[in-house]
Amino acid sequence: NEDITSYFKAKKIKIISDNIEINFDGEDMSCDDEVEFTINDKKVELIM
């Protein structure tokens, strides 16, 4: 079980996995906020 960690600098992020779609708007967060999604047993961590 390996963790997949991705770092994004984009303001808007869209993650599509199978029939799961996540729309992420970075403008609602400060620079220190951190969002973590778990999709299909894979960890996707968004650090803004």
pLDDT at 23 over 60: yes
**CA distances for 14 relative to 8, 30, 42, angstroms:** 11, 18, 16
Q: How large is the average pLDDT for residues 6-30? A: 60
Please, are residues 39 and 15 in contact by the beta-carbon 8 Å criterion? Answer: yes
1-16 pLDDT, tens digit per residue, is 344 444 444 556 666 6
The set of residues, in sequence order, having a beta carbon less than 8 Å from that of 4 and lying 6+ positions away, is 42, 43, 44
pLDDT band at 34 (very low <50, low <70, confident <90, very high): low
pTM for this prediction: 0.23
Q: Other C-beta atoms within 10 Å of 46: how many?
A: 20
**Within its chain, how far is the Cα of 10 from the centroid?**
11
